[in-house]
Structure 1
């Protein structure tokens, strides 16, 4: 019987436990509080609750998912990596390059399969977009424009948004870290980026001590320019990416789950399924991680499309470069 552990008791941890139960109904699933506090009540989709991180290693679990706040990821991951227990760490992998690099090196040293939960890679439109770019359907790519925005108080309606991870720097909050999916998929699609210009802003709408708006211009070695916008303010939410090439453009709407190509020959709808069950991308990510955990090779990471610890470290490094080079508006 499989033994599985999920660290964290928040919404994403509950989702992971539920999906693990669906994928492996006969497995024994343990839940652990991220803070190490004793939990006396029943935890949904868990067979048993552990009272400390230290109790995990003697169980020799088949895999562990770390769904604690990002500032705790290194603390929780290090002993598990050293014990060679396969890990899926929720994004971002850490809040500093120093910690992310430490986990990357330990993972390589101990040959521990370590992946990071950038689930947007598992949207069907994301998979199709990558294939279209590999096939050069829009020719040489010149430019991309990516934008993501959602009103923070609507993210978790049952909680005071000011008390959430997203709103607090000491928990890894701010638009760049919380919305880092965009930076991950841009590197997954196009490779490494350099920062040309960045402005980070603190609006008066939410009264946060972290950036709630980020505007960044990036460039890569192929000459592609990317303009990226992120915010915690938009109502209703929007998330899209437009890629312009010598033979046309592709528009990707992540909320509508649509992918449309435009060329001189007209419009081609490659995908459109707005009612698609978004939980499927989490299930596909778990399936990919299970494959990676069982085979533990760099080739498996590439074929499964799951974010490796190295890719996630590069994302944290890019965020740190943006923060260090940015012009700040407000107090962020």
Structure 2
């Protein structure tokens, strides 16, 4: 458990901002103030969390005097708000994606180094037992040299947040949302597993089947500098939820399926040599708690966290390359 008691400002009182604020309070690591301009959301935050919720951003910074800022606002505000936080001397946790454009990203990276602040971009799937097991097995070279991977995530946006009209969500925004930015986890996992890479091919389909003017499905090929070829598909227009990863290596393969809760290591003869089963009592919030613990430890030790600005910038560059592909 991280030590210390911090003054923490959460920018954004939506579902993810509320989750982080609740978890921070439960961990007992700091006093929380929430900035939320929407009156209804602000009232909900006060009712659920019993914290100070402020409608004006300037006032929120002035009142909270934050040591740490959590940026959980609409995507277009991530970099400007993170810059402001770093300039005040705060450490920063930014919800994924880093941004919807490269504007200001280089300045944020420069300011972060100048101020020697810890900035982490949250990609919670790195703390899920499935992807973390895949990463561990790859590090152990359990399937020899990795050659290629297939990483996919698909679901149905109208069912994601039942309490909200999906057509009014940030996910539906042609500029800030879309499946590519919303499902950037899979791009991040590919880079986490195999290192930096570049898009060598892609195709995007619109989300017209659910009435949206944004990208609904994207297929991309990423060639990593390590030599691995990753095929990644993300979408939020399919009616069933599926998420999986398959890695081909010179000595076998790895297969993760979120529905089954298993990671299999398959040998040359096609037989499963090892099966890692997700704990029966594992809950979704556990990965968010582990993510927070990792961030607070990085702050205490002034170390580079998972989801560094450099890594998040690489993932964003790939996402934007796919979005802007003709």
TM-score (norm 2): 0.91
Contact 1:7/1:34 (<8 A) preserved:
no
Whole-angstrom CA distance in 2 between matches of 1:10 and 1:119: 17
Aligned match of 2:319: 319
Whole-angstrom CA distance in 2 between matches of 1:75 and 1:101: 12
Alignment of 1:268-287 (within 5 A): 268-273=274-279, 276-287=282-293
* 1:4 partner SS: strand
* 1:89 partner SS: strand
Q: Structure 1 residues 229 and 274, CA, compared in 2 at 3 Å: closer, same or farther? A: farther
Q: Structure 2: 5+ residue runs without aligned partners?
A: none
Alpha-carbon shift at residue 34 of structure 1 (Å) = 5.3
Q: Structure 1 residues 236 and 289, CA, compared in 2 at 3 Å: closer, same or farther? A: same
Alpha-carbon shift at residue 63 of structure 1 (Å) = 1.5
Alignment of 1:159 onto 2:201: no
Deviations along 1:183-231, one digit per CA (max 9) or x if unpaired, are: 1111111111111110011143112111101011111123211111111
Mean Cα deviation higher: 106-115 or 255-264: 255-264
Q: Structure 1: 5+ residue runs without aligned partners?
A: 328-332
Contact 2:98/2:312 (<8 A) preserved:
yes
User: Over aligned residue pairs, what C-alpha RMSD do you find?
Assistant: 2.1
Deviations along 1:100-134, one digit per CA (max 9) or x if unpaired, are: 22222221122121101100011122222212111
Whole-angstrom CA distance in 2 between matches of 1:88 and 1:310: 14
Whole-angstrom CA distance in 2 between matches of 1:106 and 1:253: 40
Contact 2:86/2:117 (<8 A) preserved:
yes
Alignment of 1:212-291 (within 5 A): 212-264=216-268, 266-267=271-272, 268-273=274-279, 276-291=282-297
Q: Structure 1 residues 144 and 30, CA, compared in 2 at 3 Å: closer, same or farther? A: same
TM-score (norm 1): 0.89
Alignment of 1:113 onto 2:142: no
Aligned match of 2:130: 125
Contact 1:70/1:92 (<8 A) preserved:
yes
Alpha-carbon shift at residue 47 of structure 1 (Å) = 2.0
Contact 1:240/1:253 (<8 A) preserved:
yes
Contact 1:146/1:229 (<8 A) preserved:
yes
Aligned match of 1:86: 91
Deviations along 1:22-53, one digit per CA (max 9) or x if unpaired, are: 1017x321111156999467342242122322
Whole-angstrom CA distance in 1 between matches of 2:124 and 2:132: 11
Q: Structure 1 residues 60 and 204, CA, compared in 2 at 3 Å: closer, same or farther? A: closer
